[in-house]
Amino acid sequence: MEKIRKFISNKNVSSSYKNYCAIIGGAPSKGARSPKLWNKAFKKYKIKNNMIALDVNKKNLPKLLKALDKDKNFIGGCITVPHKEKVSSWLKNRLTRTSKKIGAVNCLFRDKKGNLMGTNTDGEAALKSFKNTFGTIGKKKILLLGPGGAGKAVASYFSNEIINKRNLVIVGRTEISKNFSKQIRAQWINFKKLKRLSLKDFQIVINCTSIGFGKDVNKTPINLQDFKTVKRNTLVFDIIYKPLKTKFLRLAKKNKAKILNGLDMNLRQAVIAFGYTNKKLKSNSITLKYMRSA
């Protein structure tokens, strides 16, 4: 623990046990849900381990990862904004097959040889949460905003569910997101051209941007005038869970859309990630029950 303190900005960090897990991001100590969920499960399973939050900036991230990699008491954990893609790049080939395609990780774990590995549980969790609420996707046309670290994972899993890959339209800003969209055979448009789209053509709209969270809590990627063109009962999913009802979802609800926030997705990705890090715990249904009570 002492060797990692110089790389993080929240200095008063300690683990109750020799082994520990961590959530790593820009500022997870200021409200990330994972420590509460994981520590509840550790307590229920009577495992001597706990999760801590590590706030780290872009400059110190590689140094922190190197220190954690060498610390065998660190068994894994979660990666959150804005480091999911950066951690994926740092790990290079130490990635699961799925996360290699996505290019972003939100989970770290040790393999059988003790090597630190990365994977992504966002997409699987998002799809499960969506289907549990709204049912199958089938021929529905999807508009996905923000193919960043989480957005790429969500896009990959939703792309696998639709009959026609071109029914997935991804709205991004970079050449990287454009190339990613091409890889999964989805359509791509620049955010600047979002207003040219007719939202009434889509049965599903998904926000994977951070607009509506943190300093952007009072903003929305789609304004009221554009939401007025959304058809009644359109399925609108915002992967943000804090606040539970973003401005994006409030506008969608106002225009008679069916809405879903990211709370259940966040819970499910934590359950899946917990299983990667704690390999002996195969029953995700039990872990889900424990974490749901946190």
Helix (H) / strand (E) containing 55: strand 51-55
Cβ-contact 25, 80 below 8 angstroms: yes
pLDDT tier at 281, thresholds 50, 70, 90:
confident
Residues near 145 by beta carbon (within 8 Å), at least 6 away in sequence: 151, 171, 191, 194, 205, 206, 207, 208, 209, 221, 222
Mean pLDDT to the nearest integer, 80-100? 95
Fold of domain 123-261: Rossmann fold (3.40.50)
Cβ-contact 102, 46 below 8 angstroms: no
Q: What is the pLDDT of residue 284?
A: 83
Q: What is the pLDDT of residue 232?
A: 92
Residue with tokens 């789609």: 222
Mean pLDDT to the nearest integer, 200-223? 95
Q: What is the pLDDT of residue 195?
A: 84
Domain boundaries, the chain: 2-120+267-292, 123-261
264-273 residue pLDDT tens: 999 999 999 9
φ and ψ of 92, to 5 deg: 60, -110
Q: What is the pLDDT of residue 9?
A: 96
* Cα separation, 133 vs 220, whole angstroms: 23
Core vs surface per residue 67-83: b (16+ CB within 10 A) or e = bbbeeeebbbbbbbbbb
Task: Please give the residue that has the higher pLDDT: either 161 or 284.
Answer: 161
| pLDDT above 80 for 88 | yes
- Calculate what percentage of the chain has a pLDDT beyond 70: 100
DSSP assigned state of 231: P
Find the Cα–Cα–Cα–Cα dihedral 151, 152, 153, 154, rounded to 10°.
Answer: 50
* Cα separation, 162 vs 167, whole angstroms: 7
25-54 residue pLDDT tens: 999 999 999 999 999 999 999 999 999 999
Lowest mean pLDDT: which of 212-216, 263-267, 282-286?
282-286
Architecture of domain 2-120+267-292: 3-Layer(aba) Sandwich (3.40)
Core vs surface per residue 180-200: b (16+ CB within 10 A) or e = bbeebebebbeeeeeeebebe
Q: What is the pLDDT of residue 283?
A: 73
Q: What is the pLDDT of residue 160?
A: 92
- Calculate what percentage of the chain has a pLDDT beyond 90: 88
Neighbours of 272 (CB within 10 A): 20
Catalytic, 84? Answer yes
151-204 residue pLDDT tens: 999 999 999 999 999 999 999 999 999 999 999 999 999 999 988 888 999 999
How many angstroms separate the Cα of 131 from the Cα of each of 138, 204, 290?
11, 12, 22
Collapsed DSSP state (helix, strand, coil) of residue 19: coil
- 123-261 has the same fold as 2-120+267-292: yes
Q: What is the pLDDT of residue 172?
A: 97
Average pLDDT, the chain: 95
Helix (H) / strand (E) containing 143: strand 142-145
* Cα separation, 61 vs 94, whole angstroms: 17
pTM for the whole structure = 0.91
Q: What is the pLDDT of residue 248?
A: 97
Q: What is the pLDDT of residue 1?
A: 78
| pLDDT above 90 for 280 | no
| pLDDT above 90 for 12 | no
- Which of 6, 46, 84, 192 is catalytic? The answer is 84
Mean pLDDT to the nearest integer, 236-249? 97
Least Cα distance to 146 among 170, 123, 120, 182 occurs for 170
